Structure 1
Amino acid sequence: MQYIRILIVVTVIISLAGVVLSGCRCQIKHPQTAFCTHNYVIKVMVKRIKENLAENGYKQYLSKNYNQFTILFRRMPKKIILSRTYKIKILRVFKSSKKFKQGNIKKIMTPGSYKSCGVILKKNRVYILAGDVINTELWIDGCSWVQEFKSLTKQNLIGLSKKYKQNCNCQIKHCTGRNCRHHQENCEFRHEIWGCYRDYGICDHRKLSRSCHWKQNKDFYSCIKQSNQKIRRNKKKRKV
């Protein structure tokens, strides 16, 4: 009986956690797609972070969003962060629908929690941000391209400098099963080796054939080869 009670409590907690963690859902987006679809793509340094807290309507907000947790854990959050404002210094502009210049100090907004699709940046870190302009304000969220600059690969940098922009008429799509064929035509990618496409893949439009293909480079194919070998080894281990 005690075991059943424990199992019920654990199940309830997991289900509630699932509600919170599944609050921000996005389709996998290649950096090239992010570059082409977002309003701006900039390299920035985070200078200051401000948390915008709930004040008016605080109790009502808690009762609507945290009543289940209160019943389980008998406690309320100490504060509700509605949004965060990042004061950033623009180091380089790769794309923009607004007039940005290197050295400008700007503010970028993001929702206050993971549940509401917020993004956490760290002070004095340098990032690539691809986001949107909403009511004249700059915004990023969990579906934006947000990446620390030092983690970008050589191919990412080539893409940012010219290749992504030149090939915005190409589409990059997820494929599964038989539809993947050889994984090279029409810039399709397999989820299980997504990292190779994200880090080393550039979808290139060929004028002669009027089609889009993954641009050939050594790092890209080396990554795919190693990933496929790892997948095959893991499958063999599971069979044993």
Structure 2
Amino acid sequence: MYQAAVLVNFCFLLMTLTQVPAHCPCNQERHPQEMFCSADVVIRGKLFGGRLASELPNSTNQHSMIIYKVKMIKMFQGFDKMHHVSYLQTPAPPGLCYLWPQPERKHYLITGRVQEGRLVVNSCDWVQTWQSLSLTQRRSLRFRYRKGCACQIRKCSAWQCGVSRESDCWWTDWQWQGKARGHQARHYACLRRAGKSCSWYRGQLDPALGKTNDQTQVFP
């Protein structure tokens, strides 16, 4: 009977997965580079299971959290925080910021924060199937996003973006495509140029030389 109840609960998890909490207190409309730079840990991995922390043996967790087992494939960031990720936890509904990956056993890109030695992930983080990432995003995870963390990506949804600083890259996907996950989010990274100003780049980057032959794109 207990196993049947767990199975029903897990099926419900998968069905309600893509519903993002409406009142999560964070800016969900962030460029992938911003989510990378603000994360403690960035990995590629597979997720298995999905159990309430309070149901685990010897659990002292008093909060409603879902625990997933992780098979880590690659770590892009966070070596100084965690050497290996075996589990992650995310808030369980109806709490704020809950997030469930779907379906089970796909490869995911996962960003999150380390709290008390555990990787904590919610709907404010970048969790996306690896297959759905663009080639530019996959390449940028290795080096380019990290190189641009000193730059500031600013959202622009009007015809006039405002006064620009040297560290600014204006994100205009809303202006031209009416959505956050547009061409600029999928195919560009904001990098600091030799003159210390930041600009959008798309193309190859040589980490050994610190030089780029990227195509520079100026967005209004």
TM range (shorter): 0.5 to 0.7
Please state if 1:23 is matched with 2:35. Answer: no
Whether contact under 8 Å (2:190, 2:199) holds in the other structure is yes
Decide which of 156, 165, 171 is 1:189's aligned counterpart. 171
Whether contact under 8 Å (1:23, 1:114) holds in the other structure is no
Deviation track 1:80-111 (CA, whole Å, cap 9, x = no partner) reads x922101001100000132425xxx6110000
Q: Secondary structure at the match of 1:26?
A: coil
Distance 1:47 1:107 in 2: 9
Q: Secondary structure at the match of 1:179?
A: coil
Letter in 1 for 2:30: K
Please state if 1:110 is matched with 2:90. Answer: yes
Q: Secondary structure at the match of 2:81?
A: coil
| Structure 1 residues 223-238: aligned runs within 5 Å | none
Would you say how many aligned residue pairs link Structure 1 and Structure 2? Answer: 168
Deviation at 1:193, TM superposition (A): 4.6
Distance 2:72 2:108 in 1: 10
Distance 2:170 2:51 in 1: 40
Letter in 2 for 1:157: R
Please state if 1:50 is matched with 2:46. Answer: no
| RMSD of aligned Cα (Å) | 2.7
| Structure 1 residues 119-134: aligned runs within 5 Å | 119-121=99-101, 122-134=103-115
45-54 vs 194-203, greater mean Cα deviation: 45-54
Decide which of 66, 81, 86 is 1:98's aligned counterpart. 81
105-114 vs 172-181, greater mean Cα deviation: 172-181
Letter in 1 for 2:45: V
TM-score by length of 1: 0.63
TM-score by length of 2: 0.68
- 1:38 aligns to what? 39
Structure with greater Cα Rg: 1
Whether contact under 8 Å (1:36, 1:164) holds in the other structure is yes
Q: Secondary structure at the match of 2:64?
A: strand
- For residues 135 and 53 of structure 1, do their structure 2 counterparts lie closer, same or farther at Cα, with a shift above 3 Å needed? closer
What is the aligned-residue identity percentage? 26
Deviation track 1:143-173 (CA, whole Å, cap 9, x = no partner) reads 0111111101011011101101111111111
Whether contact under 8 Å (2:187, 2:202) holds in the other structure is no
Gaps of 5+ in 1: 1-19, 55-80, 226-240
Letter in 2 for 1:41: V
Deviation track 1:113-146 (CA, whole Å, cap 9, x = no partner) reads 2641111123211101110001221100010111
Whether contact under 8 Å (2:43, 2:74) holds in the other structure is yes
